[in-house]
Copies of this chain bind each other. A is one copy, B any other.
Amino acid sequence: MTAVIERQSVETQAKKAKQASYVMQTASEEEKNHALLILADELEKNMAFLLKENEKDLDNGRAKGYDEAYMDRLKLDEERIKGFSEGLRQVSELEDPSGVTLEKWILDNGLEAEKVSVPLGVIGMIYEARPNVTADAAGLAIKSGNAIVLKGGSSAIHSNAAIARILREGLTHTKLPEEAVQFISSTDREAARELFTMKEHIDVLIPRGGGALIQAVVENATVPVLETGVGNCHLYIDENADADKALPILINAKTDRPAVCNAAETLLIHEKWLKKYKDVLNAAFNAHGIQVHGDETAVQHMDGAKKAEEKDWTDEYLSLDIAMKVVSGLDEAIGHINEYGTKHSEAIITEDEQTAEEFLNRVDAAAVYHNASTRFTDGSALGFGAEIGISTQKLHARGPMGLPALTTVKIKLRGNGQIR
> Smallest distance from the beta carbon of A63 to chain B beta carbons, Å?
37
| Interface membership of A368, Cβ < 8 A | yes
A408-B394, A411-B399 given as contacts; is B420 within 8 A of A256 (CB)?
yes
Binds B, one of A78-86, A173-181, A275-283, A356-364: A356-364
Interface string of A244-257 (1 = CB under 8 A from B): 11001100110010
List CB contacts (< 8 Å) of A101-148 with chain B.
105, 107, 111, 113, 118, 120-121
Q: Which 3 A/B pairs are nearest by Cβ-Cβ distance? A: A372-B415, A252-B419, A394-B408
> A224, A372, A412 — which one has the most chain B CB atoms within 10 A of its CB?
A372
| Interface membership of A417, Cβ < 8 A | yes
A225 nearest CB neighbor, chain B only: B224
The copy count of this chain in the complex is 2
Residues B107 and A417 in contact, CB atoms below 8 Å apart: no
> Smallest distance from the beta carbon of A352 to chain B beta carbons, Å?
13
> Smallest distance from the beta carbon of A336 to chain B beta carbons, Å?
13
A113 nearest CB neighbor, chain B only: B382
Residues B398 and A410 in contact, CB atoms below 8 Å apart: yes
A244 to B416 CA separation, bound complex (whole angstroms): 10
A410-B365, A413-B376 given as contacts; is B394 within 8 A of A204 (CB)?
yes
Which residues of chain B come closer than 8 Å to A90, judged between CB atoms? none
Residues A419 and B375 in contact, CB atoms below 8 Å apart: yes
List CB contacts (< 8 Å) of A233-276 with chain B.
242, 244-245, 248-249, 252-253, 256
Interface string of A315-337 (1 = CB under 8 A from B): 00000000000000000000000
Residues A409 and B398 in contact, CB atoms below 8 Å apart: yes
| Interface membership of A203, Cβ < 8 A | yes
| Interface membership of A22, Cβ < 8 A | yes
Residues A412 and B360 in contact, CB atoms below 8 Å apart: yes
Interface string of A391-415 (1 = CB under 8 A from B): 0011110110000000011111111
Residues A412 and B368 in contact, CB atoms below 8 Å apart: yes
Interface string of A337-375 (1 = CB under 8 A from B): 010000000000000000010001110111111111101
A121 to B338 CA separation, bound complex (whole angstroms): 11
Residues A413 and B369 in contact, CB atoms below 8 Å apart: yes
Instruction: Please give 14 more A-B residue pairs, beta carbons under 8 A apart, in addition to A248-B417, A252-B420, A370-B412.
Output: A22-B338, A22-B364, A107-B381, A118-B364, A224-B394, A249-B417, A360-B412, A370-B415, A371-B416, A371-B417, A372-B416, A372-B419, A373-B419, A376-B420
A375 to B398 CA separation, bound complex (whole angstroms): 33
Residues B22 and A367 in contact, CB atoms below 8 Å apart: no
Residues B22 and A413 in contact, CB atoms below 8 Å apart: no
Q: List 6 A-B contacts (CB under 8 A).
A: A105-B383, A120-B395, A204-B394, A224-B227, A249-B417, A253-B419
Which residues of chain B come closer than 8 Å to A370, judged between CB atoms? 412-415
Which residues of chain B come closer than 8 Å to A249, judged between CB atoms? 417-419
| Interface membership of A192, Cβ < 8 A | no
| Interface membership of A219, Cβ < 8 A | yes
| Interface membership of A184, Cβ < 8 A | no
Which residues of chain B come closer than 8 Å to A364, judged between CB atoms? 22, 25, 118, 121, 410
Interface string of A22-46 (1 = CB under 8 A from B): 1001100000000000000000000
A199 to B216 CA separation, bound complex (whole angstroms): 14
| Interface membership of A9, Cβ < 8 A | no
| Interface membership of A226, Cβ < 8 A | yes
| Interface membership of A218, Cβ < 8 A | yes
> Smallest distance from the beta carbon of A217 to chain B beta carbons, Å?
10
